Amino acid sequence: MDITIHRGSREVGGNCVEVRTGETRLILDLGMPLFGDDRQPLETFSLRRRSTTELQELGILPQVSGLFGEGTPPAAILLSHAHLDHTGLLNHSADSIPVYASPGTSKMMLAGSLFAAQVGLPQERYREVKPEEPIAVGNFTITGYPVDHSIYGCLAFLIEAEGKRLLYSGDLRSHGRKPGMERRLIEVCQQQPIDALLMEGTHFGFADGNPANEYELEREIVKFVGQSDSLVLASFSPQHVDRLVAFIRAAKQTGRIFVADVYTAFILHLLQSEINLPQPEAQGFVRVYVPKNLKESGHRPGRTKQIERFRDSEIMIDEIKADPEKFLMVFRASMLEDFDGELPQRTSCLYSRWHGYLEQPDWSITRQKIGDVNGELHEVHTSGHILSADIVRFVHAIDPQTIIPIHTFEPERFEEFFDNVIRIEDGVEHTIG
Ligand SMILES: [Zn+2]
């Protein structure tokens, strides 16, 4: 079994890996790079609008035969999860290549494409990967194992061929709501040895930040909401369903109504068959707010249909402004104008995203507006990636023959902790075993 990391051997994001045996080639993830050579964030928003040819000329598309056109196409693309840095170039790939992903990833991509300008997953290309159910593609056997990360539906992939076993971690962590996923994955790997572990190392190179786990974070959210006597806004990605659950539980525990925007409400709707989440209801615990910019953004059939779906449970801004202390409201900076520039007195905001976005103009204005009404912006966040000490523990527990770093700016850090690291630069082929 041969492996080539086309992108991601020395950066966080833009994951694209090719695995080959005999005539069969698989692609693991097809992500948009997030950072340039200088480690500065790229303008991914404008890159998403570029044509295939333009991205080729900019060197953004990895050079993989048949992936974007010319040549025999790979047999399959496997997506570990729906984040941009793992899926963002999918819309440029050849239509004939089937795309394997979990149902959760397919749902997150649907919601993201309707409400957050993210890449969609065409239904005719989608092949479902059920947890722990092996799939044959050419000479390969592929099995998906659920892992915990900051978006719903993530998988690690076990890839077997010619008697070799490769485990691709995708993005994962140990401090989420579901530590049982990691225990199960370790158990599977201990039953039969792993020849190569392709392991994410985001926090080798980026500081761990707040080491709190999702349960500790929930307690902090509950405490903050409980102490407020006015509107509490919550800014987080609704695709991060564990975080969404924490905010819903905080609303419940503090006797508030949870106001979801349409994007969040659609995710509650999509996941109702998989997990127990409260659904929007007229005069119920979950109400739905339709942000002005969605109402005014013109007719898009898929989106309009979802707005219609929640008509009965819709809440208007005046109802929120009349009794602000009754609500915990999902918020993004673009919704500031919905309040006509005037937030209720002492409105506060729980900010639960990457710190870097706070430096951007729309958030500096939001911060100022919150200050103007004597409110507080409180950061409550923990990483979606495995913390550095957990990397060491996890990898030792898996105990692979070799470790191949990926999704890290500092792959050499692995060599400080393990003596069987194989560092392969982007584009260089390596044979496993
Ligand atoms: Zn990632």
CA of 426 to the centre of ligand 1 (A): 16
Do 389 and 330 belong together in one domain? Answer: no
Do 388 and 370 belong together in one domain? Answer: no
CA of 85 to the centre of ligand 1 (A): 5
DSSP code, position 41: B
CA of 184 to the centre of ligand 1 (A): 22
CA of 172 to the centre of ligand 1 (A): 9
Give the domain-ending residue among 335, 354, 379: 379
Q: Under 8 Å CB-to-CB from 362, ≥6 apart: which residues?
A: 333, 334, 336
CA of 28 to the centre of ligand 1 (A): 12
CA of 17 to the centre of ligand 1 (A): 13
CA of 302 to the centre of ligand 1 (A): 27
CA of 251 to the centre of ligand 1 (A): 30
Backbone CA torsion sign across 10, 12, 13, 15: positive
CA 315 to chain centre: 28
CA of 195 to the centre of ligand 1 (A): 23
- Counted domains in the chain: 2
- Residue 301: the pLDDT is 78
CA of 83 to the centre of ligand 1 (A): 7
CA of 423 to the centre of ligand 1 (A): 19
CA of 408 to the centre of ligand 1 (A): 10
Q: Could you give the 3-state DSSP secondary structure of residue 217? A: helix
Per-residue pLDDT for the chain (433 aa), expressed as one digit of tens each?
A: 999 999 999 999 999 999 999 889 999 999 999 998 888 888 888 899 999 999 999 999 999 999 998 899 999 999 999 999 999 999 999 999 999 999 999 999 999 999 999 999 999 999 999 999 999 999 999 999 999 999 999 999 999 999 999 999 999 999 999 999 999 999 999 999 999 999 999 999 889 999 999 999 999 999 999 999 999 999 999 999 999 999 999 999 999 999 999 999 999 999 999 999 999 999 999 999 999 988 877 767 788 888 999 999 999 999 999 999 999 999 999 999 999 878 999 999 999 998 888 888 889 999 999 999 999 999 999 999 999 999 999 999 999 999 999 999 999 999 999 999 999 999 999 999 8
Q: What is the CATH number of the domain that holds 193?
A: 3.60.15.10
141 lies in which domain range? 2-207+384-431
CA of 294 to the centre of ligand 1 (A): 28
Other residues' Cβ atoms within 10 Å of the Cβ of residue 122: 11
- Residue 156: the pLDDT is 98
Do 10 and 87 belong together in one domain? Answer: yes
Give the domain-ending residue among 352, 379, 406: 379
CA of 290 to the centre of ligand 1 (A): 30
CA of 310 to the centre of ligand 1 (A): 32
CA of 78 to the centre of ligand 1 (A): 14
Taking each helix axis from N to C end, the angle separating 214-227 and 241-253, rounded to the nearest 10 degrees, works out to 40
CA of 387 to the centre of ligand 1 (A): 14
- Residue 232: the pLDDT is 98
Do 148 and 31 belong together in one domain? Answer: yes
Do 168 and 300 belong together in one domain? Answer: no
C-alpha pair distances (Å), 75 with each of 132, 137, 221, 286: 21, 7, 45, 44
C-alpha pair distances (Å), 67 with each of 90, 95, 100, 158: 10, 9, 15, 22
**Burial of residue 105 (number of CB atoms within 10 Å: 0-12, 13-18, 19+):** buried
CA of 354 to the centre of ligand 1 (A): 13
Residues with beta carbon < 5 A to ion ligand 1?
Answer: 85, 171
CA of 421 to the centre of ligand 1 (A): 21
CA of 257 to the centre of ligand 1 (A): 33
CA of 32 to the centre of ligand 1 (A): 10
Do 317 and 412 belong together in one domain? Answer: no
Do 172 and 219 belong together in one domain? Answer: no
Do 355 and 388 belong together in one domain? Answer: no
CA of 406 to the centre of ligand 1 (A): 10
In sequence order, what DSSP letters do the residues of 356-368 get, joined into one string? GGGGSHHHHHHHH
In sequence order, what DSSP letters do the residues of 225-290 get, joined into one string? HHH-SS-EEEE--TT-HHHHHHHHHHHHHTTPEEEEEHHHHHHHHHTTTTS------TTSSEEEE-
Do 14 and 111 belong together in one domain? Answer: yes
CA of 87 to the centre of ligand 1 (A): 10
Do 88 and 6 belong together in one domain? Answer: yes
Do 229 and 200 belong together in one domain? Answer: no
CA of 260 to the centre of ligand 1 (A): 26
CA of 392 to the centre of ligand 1 (A): 19
Asked whether 159 and 75 are in contact (CB, 8 A), the reply is no
Half-sphere exposure of residue 410: CA atoms within 13 angstroms, side-chain side: 12
Other residues' Cβ atoms within 10 Å of the Cβ of residue 376: 16
For the chain, give the number of residues: 433
Do 371 and 264 belong together in one domain? Answer: yes
Q: What is the CATH number of the domain that holds 342?
A: 3.40.50.10710
The two three-digit tokens of residue 340, written as one number: 């006509």
- Residue 407: the pLDDT is 97
- Residue 296: the pLDDT is 79
CA of 261 to the centre of ligand 1 (A): 25
